[in-house]
Amino acid sequence: MTKAKKRFAEARTVELLDTASDRLPDVCVHGGEPCPGAPWQGLPYERQLAYKQEQVGEALARIGGLEGYELEEIVPAVEQWRYRNKLEYSFGETDEGLALGFHARGRWDLIVDVEDCHLGTEAGNEARNAVREWAKEEAIPAFDRRAQRGVLRNLAVREGRRTGQVQTRLVTVKARFPRPPVDLHTIVEGNAGGSEGPTGVLGEERLREELCGLELEMSHGAFFQTNTEMAERLYAVAAELAGLSGRERVFDLFCGIGTIGLTMAGRAGEVWGLEIVPEAIEDAERNARRNKIENAHFMAANARTGVRPLVEKAGKPDVVVVDPPRAGLSPKIVRRVLECEAQKIVYVSCNPTTLAPNAAQLAEAGYRLTRVRPVDMFPQTPHIECVALFERDPKRVAAAKREAEEAASDGE
């Protein structure tokens, strides 16, 4: 057992005594162990898809108490391997010397060296290996969190799948060493747990990518889907469910570098994006100009406090698109979304267990969950994305308001 929780425990496989007849041999292996980023690789892909579809329906029923909607067929991945456009690696020390790879499953203090990760492309693997060889040649040690000494912490490798650009960002503590062969160099405090800090530009500052016919640029700290090909399919599903006719005002909350809003702009009257990261908003505005999109506008603000000012500035939307992080929407943000009184809410979720309670809140306030379509962004893992469509039902909304008013009067 590697970790004990209140309701469950985590363990490491020691020996397989009996295997299923359709179990597949591991494809991605590091140091004799299956890749930590591909825990489902022994499962045939058709079964992965079936389990993920079931996972979405079960979460909505068990957690959200929802029924009466259409759970559509899952969209399979274009590529089952080498699909990731971003991978982050950690430095460590082993008996064989400097390692650059992943944390062993269940361990924060043990790094498994990686030579070829099948989740990334050959170009990305070559970029990682080149940085490790440089560090070995220069005899630069990995940072030891326990002893609080050393230099090298992390390496992020990002790729423009359509442009062929490979961008590397090295994260170290503050120290003197030869110029590293990377595009970006971030310095963090020795005892800091994250990988964010002052970043110097040594090569390409922004990553260039093409998506849904758009030319995009993004800063290193801006969010971008890690599966480019499936991001196109995910956004196509969102646009389909939004059902735009060319006249609608669309709010794109948690818009990042503007990808969803910009891909919808050609079918909308106007798009307004909201994002808390200022650098991402700068990227979104730059991307709108680059693609000559004039009906897309962006604001840097927290969704919790920024929706009301956005409504005051732009007016109420016809469609609200939300693409929140794994934690989903807080109750206050749900209330702000409800205040928009949009006819449709398109919810892009990377975690059905947080979509479910949000869906229940929207349903309680008068919205009907009508369609949900899972999209497999991460083959070989249990993670699943989906797009859900909520439609405003005036009768339900009025009934919900009456119930809320009656409850408030009873509590007085």
Report pLDDT for 289: 97
Structurally, at CATH architecture level, domain 53-78+227-404 sits in 3-Layer(aba) Sandwich (3.40)
Cα 28 to the center of its chain, rounded Å: 22
DSSP 109: S
Residues in the chain: 412
- Provide the β-strand partners of residue 244: none
Check whether 16 has a pLDDT greater than 70.
Answer: yes
SS3 144: strand
- Domain map of the chain by residue range? 53-78+227-404, 86-204
Amino acid present at 401:
K
Domain 86-204 sits in CATH at: 2.40.50.1070
Q: 274 and 252 in contact (C-beta within 8 Å)?
A: yes
Instruction: Report the candidate in 374, 371, 405, 365 with the shortest Cα–Cα distance to residue 390.
Output: 371
- DSSP H helix total and E strand total for the chain: 9, 21
Check whether 227 has a pLDDT greater than 60.
Answer: yes
Q: Which segments of 150-206 does DSSP mark as H helices, in order? A: none
pLDDT in tens, 338-368: 999 999 999 999 999 999 999 999 999 999 9
In 139-291, where do the E strands start and end?
Answer: 152-159, 166-173, 184-188, 199-201, 207-211, 214-218, 249-253, 270-275
- Kindly indicate the confidence band of residue 211, based on its pLDDT and cuts at 50, 70 and 90: very high
Is 212 among the catalytic positions? Answer: no
Check whether 195 has a pLDDT greater than 90.
Answer: no
Place of tokens 């929407």: 329
Average pLDDT over residues 103-131: 92
Q: Are strands 296-300 and 319-322 parallel, antiparallel or unpaired?
A: unpaired
Residue 19 vs residue 113, higher pLDDT? 113
Check whether 197 has a pLDDT greater than 90.
Answer: no
pLDDT in tens, 32-89: 889 999 999 999 999 999 999 999 999 999 999 999 999 999 999 999 999 999 999 9
Question: What are the tokens at 354?
Answer: 């947080």
The one catalytic residue in 28, 340, 350, 386 is 350
Check whether 1 has a pLDDT greater than 60.
Answer: no
Interior/surface letters 227-241, b for 16+ CB within 10 angstroms, e for the rest = bbbbbbbbbebbbeb
Q: What is the mean pLDDT of the chain?
A: 93
Check whether 6 has a pLDDT greater than 70.
Answer: no
- Kindly indicate the confidence band of residue 7, based on its pLDDT and cuts at 50, 70 and 90: low
Average pLDDT over residues 214-225: 93
Report pLDDT for 117: 97
- Kindly indicate the confidence band of residue 10, based on its pLDDT and cuts at 50, 70 and 90: low
Interior/surface letters 244-268, b for 16+ CB within 10 angstroms, e for the rest = beeebbbbbbbbbbbbbbbbbbbbb
pLDDT in tens, 366-412: 999 999 999 999 999 999 999 999 999 888 888 877 877 776 666 65
Report pLDDT for 110: 85
Q: 290: buried, middle or exposed (CB in 10 Å: 19+, 13-18, 0-12)? A: middle
Question: What are the tokens at 289?
Answer: 């100009």
Residue 300 vs residue 1, higher pLDDT? 300
